[in-house]
Structure 1
Amino acid sequence: MSTPAELALLQERDRRRGFRLLAWSGPASIVVVLVGWGVLAGFVPPPSPDMRAEEVAALWREDPELKRLGLTMCVWGGALYVLFAAGIAQALRRVAGSSVLALAQFSMGAFGMVFFCWNFLLLATVGYRPDQPAEIVRAFSDVGFLMTFPPVQPFTLQVVLIGVVILQDRRPVPLIPRWLGFVNLWVGFLFLPAQAAVFVHDGPVAWDGFLTFWVPVGVFAIWFPLMCWAMLRMRAEDPAAAAAPA
């Protein structure tokens, strides 16, 4: 039989493996979404909000099965994001010594992902019956794309909470570098212009615009590996974890 010390080491090893799994689910999430959204569905860049109904209908009648496959894949990416938010919550609990803001961060991430996954299913509905009248196709397409980019509020609050917790770490050597706290605050700021997509049909804040599409996508593509790196680095430098067998 294993001794209590050996059982503790085994449990710590399992915790390390679980935490690594949650940390890597973040980069996996953005890769799955980008492959589904851009490669399979072909929405990089997204279709212009200015397109006529007939043009939108023609777009959806082209490879509708591939579009549905890509959008279904995006839902898997959204599910992985929730796992990542759970891993961030665990990391923030160690930073802050409290679960309050860590739980709030996770709640915002999970709540935001409801919108993010729901919109993929709405868009898949367009590809499900692309032979409907053009006006109906465009209406459903509009709903799907407007639910994709403007609902940045939960994600903005999530990264702001992450930044606040990181900056509250008063240790001589913070568990997560302080500069990453400021990065999270900037990420939240850069998400804000996307809210305006519900008011315009063209320009930098339209759903295919620079500030609404390209900036958030680029920011997320950087944010995921940075947060993953910080989480893995924190775990690797934990003296208790380092004592456990790999």
Structure 2
Amino acid sequence: MHRPAAVTNFWANLAQSRWMTPHAFQYYCAVSGILSSALFLFGFVAADFVSPIKPYWSAEQTAHHYRAHTNRIRIGASLIVLSGLFYMPFCAAISSQMRRVPNLHYVVQQLQLSAAAAGLWTFILPGIILATTSYRPERSPDITLALNDFFWICTLMPWQTFMVQNFCFSYAIIIDQRKKPLFPKELAIYNMIVPFFWTGSTGIHFSKYGAGAYNGAITFWVLGVTFCFQLALDAIFLMRAIHSEPVGGEQIVDLFPNRIPKDPEAGASGSRTGMGHTSFLDHTSSNGASMAKDE
């Protein structure tokens, strides 16, 4: 397909601009963590759910709140769903930076990213439920009450995938023993401690009163504040790690990071491969070394 020279030059200049560099793209992903946190919070503010409605309200009281704040709740539902859009790029950037840690087995990085993909629905599904609840506010109050309970339980009860993410991220930080690690060890401690503040929501369905209810101090305020603050804090340190990455990229750890170069058993197994032959591991390592020289 023939294109005018001006169009070709435009796309060429755009591709070579500083806004399209690998560093820039990673910065966009890192900032997405802050945007995800902010949109999730503003969704609750827009829906007039800060502080939350009372779990012990009757069906008529709950339905009245949805009728009186229908448009605000619909806006809040849209913001909550939209927050999930920015969560995945943020987690992908963390996974990418984790790959830079020497001797980090790829299962750690993959587990972090898999947990992020599952945790994405903790943003999207509650927003969809809230949108459904506000879609027909004139329906039977009993149905509205049931959907309202469904929304709060789906929002606050699933913390497990986020704990897996935090532990994988903390593990990568801890084993990075270089003089200039990507992330400070204090960030690992914070990411390991914070998930335990979320576990109180496991029993959210046992109570309609007090700190354990979905409007309580443990299940809403502590969980919400620590979760949103953690996303913003991790995003800031993630941007620092991205800034330290060489412009031309850097060599990622070996395909087999658990292999010890001077392991006697490795040498013995190498001798068993026969004269004039090398093992697959040695072949991989030599390829990696030659690639590094070429770079």
Does the pair score TM above 0.5? yes
CA distance in 1, matches of 2:186, 2:96: 20
Q: 2:71 aligns with which of 55, 65, 74?
A: 65
Which has the larger displacement, 215-224 or 53-62? 215-224
The one-letter code of the counterpart of 2:63 is: A
CA distance in 2, matches of 1:215, 1:235: 30
Q: Deviations over 1:64-110 (max 9, x none)?
A: 12211211111111111111111111111112544321221111122
Q: 1:42 aligns with which of 40, 48, 53?
A: 48
Q: 1:191 aligns with which of 195, 198, 219?
A: 198
CA distance in 1, matches of 2:61, 2:219: 22
Q: Deviations over 1:35-59 (max 9, x none)?
A: 1221x21111111211111110101
Q: Is the 8 A contact 1:49 1:201 kept in 2?
A: yes
Aligned residue in 1 for 2:100: 94
Aligned residue in 2 for 1:221: 228
Cα deviation, residue 12, structure 1: 11
Q: 1:154 aligns with which of 142, 156, 161?
A: 161
Q: Is the 8 A contact 2:41 2:228 kept in 1?
A: no
Cα deviation, residue 197, structure 1: 0.6
Q: Is the 8 A contact 2:197 2:223 kept in 1?
A: yes
Cα deviation, residue 17, structure 1: 0.6
Instruction: After TM superposition, list the pairs within 5 Å mapping 1:1-246 onto structure 2.
Output: 14-38=21-45, 40-96=46-102, 97-238=104-245, 240-241=246-247
Q: Is the 8 A contact 1:206 1:212 kept in 2?
A: yes
CA distance in 1, matches of 2:56, 2:136: 22
CA distance in 2, matches of 1:220, 1:107: 19
Which has the larger displacement, 180-189 or 90-99? 90-99
Task: Give the 3-state SS of the residue equivalent to 1:61 in structure 2.
Answer: helix
Cα deviation, residue 13, structure 1: 6.8
The one-letter code of the counterpart of 1:146 is: I
CA distance in 2, matches of 1:229, 1:136: 42
Cα deviation, residue 24, structure 1: 0.2
How many residues are paired up? Answer: 233
Q: Deviations over 1:183-236 (max 9, x none)?
A: 000111111111111221122121111111111221123212221121111122
CA RMSD of aligned residues (A): 2.1
Cα deviation, residue 242, structure 1: 8.8
Q: Is the 8 A contact 2:18 2:24 kept in 1?
A: no
Aligned residue in 1 for 2:285: none
CA distance in 1, matches of 2:150, 2:84: 19
Aligned residue in 2 for 1:6: none
The structure with the larger Rg is 2
Percent of aligned positions with the same letter in both sequences?
A: 29
Q: Deviations over 1:92-143 (max 9, x none)?
A: 1112544321221111122012133112111111110111111111011111
- TM-score, length-scaled by structure 1: 0.88
Q: Is the 8 A contact 2:30 2:90 kept in 1?
A: yes
Higher helix share: 1
Which has the larger displacement, 128-137 or 9-18? 9-18
Gaps of 5+ in 2: 1-15, 250-295
Cα distance, 1:95–1:205 mapped onto 2, change above 3 Å: farther
Aligned residue in 1 for 2:282: none
Task: Give the 3-state SS of the residue equivalent to 1:208 in structure 2.
Answer: coil
